[in-house]
Amino acid sequence: MLANEKITFRNRLGFIGLGYLGSRMARRLVAAGFPMTVYDRDRAKAAELSALGAKVARDPEELAGEVDVILSSLPDDPVVEAVYLGTGNVLRSARPGTRIIELSTISPEASRELHRAARQRELAALDVAISGSTLSAEAGTLTLFGGGDPEIFESAAAIFAAIAKQWFYMGPGGSGVSMKLVVNTLLGVGMQAVAEALALGLTLALPRELLFDTLAKTAVVAPAHVGKLATAKKGDYTPQFPVRLMHKDFELVLAAASHAELSMPATEAAAAINAEEAASESEKDFSVVIHLMEKRARHSEILPL
């Protein structure tokens, strides 16, 4: 592709990583009309996209050599580094002018390293961090935060429009994932605050269903947490954003804070509770901290009203 050329439906996309969010975004892009090549270590996940018309690559290297735009949604820094800089061979296989839209939540340092390595090979990279659940991904209502060249970011509007309701340019490489860490600090700490408030209500002998329903209607509960109250009331912790990924994000937030010598006591406390659930190795939603705090409330003395 030519520098700053707008991405259109004529451009072939490649998508690496078909997990909770990646699979849903890839489906929407295929449905929007983009020709697509996909890759995932789990061949069954790739086969689901093949049934919708996507080509399945043998490996990331093959994918990178035949597409105009590479998107990836991967678990963490080591996997991103392996795919692009290591055994995945993506940067060495991509043609000059290929655009990279890296959607994973990784550290700002790893993101900036990917930007530097891409420039050395005449490739244009964006870090475009995602805010939203699996339901948002299915509906195409995600929020995106972008870092990199502003003109390259603007050129990807057709892709963003297929998967998101809004997207924001945040600054140079690494700025998108930096904003994601800011947002997920509020998401994780806020979820713990909701869980503790519910636990307090239960120890004060408030009726459980009334407590959940009323709290959801107050102005102090963020929209991202309202839906969690409805599912947690039913004991449904089906993962929309798995607790293990929230745990990873807490670690990224606290690592960034430590590097900056910034004290974040509320975040540290929330991360510790989240880590208890993450250690159970159960694939549950991060809102499962509500269940943990409910258990603690049941072991507390009921206070008189």
157 shares a domain with 136: yes
Examine residue 258 and state whether it is found in any structural domain, yes or no.
yes
215 shares a domain with 152: no
DSSP string for residues in 43-102:
HHHHHHHHTTT-EE-SSHHHHHHH-SEEEE--SSHHHHHHHHHSTT-HHHHSPTT-EEEE
Examine residue 259 and state whether it is found in any structural domain, yes or no.
yes
Q: What is the tally of structural domains in the chain?
A: 2
233 shares a domain with 143: no
Categorise residue 33: left if φ over 0, alpha if ψ from -120 to 50, beta otherwise: left
> What per-residue confidence (pLDDT) applies to 303?
47
> What per-residue confidence (pLDDT) applies to 27?
97
166 shares a domain with 18: yes
Examine residue 210 and state whether it is found in any structural domain, yes or no.
yes
Burial of 3 (0-12, 13-18, 19+ CB in 10 A): exposed
161 shares a domain with 19: yes
216 shares a domain with 152: no
> What per-residue confidence (pLDDT) applies to 280?
81
Domain boundary among 173, 189, 223: 173
Sole residue written with tokens 């964006």: 126
> What per-residue confidence (pLDDT) applies to 304?
47
Examine residue 8 and state whether it is found in any structural domain, yes or no.
no
Domain boundary among 127, 153, 173: 173
Q: The CATH number of the domain where 249 resides is what?
A: 1.10.1040.10
Q: Per-residue pLDDT tens for 242-279?
A: 999 999 999 999 999 999 999 999 999 999 999 988 88
Examine residue 54 and state whether it is found in any structural domain, yes or no.
yes
Examine residue 256 and state whether it is found in any structural domain, yes or no.
yes
Amino acid at site 207: P
Examine residue 1 and state whether it is found in any structural domain, yes or no.
no
Examine residue 4 and state whether it is found in any structural domain, yes or no.
no
Specify the pTM. 0.92
Domain boundary among 132, 149, 173: 173
Contact 8, 158 (CB under 8 A): yes
> What per-residue confidence (pLDDT) applies to 3?
66
Q: Which residues of the chain fall below pLDDT 70?
A: 2-3, 281, 301-305
89 shares a domain with 236: no
Q: Per-residue pLDDT tens for 113-126?
A: 999 999 999 999 99
167 shares a domain with 218: no
Sole residue written with tokens 């929007």: 32
203 shares a domain with 155: no
Q: The CATH number of the domain where 29 resides is what?
A: 3.40.50.720
224 shares a domain with 134: no
254 shares a domain with 230: yes
> What per-residue confidence (pLDDT) applies to 209?
96
199 shares a domain with 155: no
- By residue range, what is the domain housing residue 265? 180-298
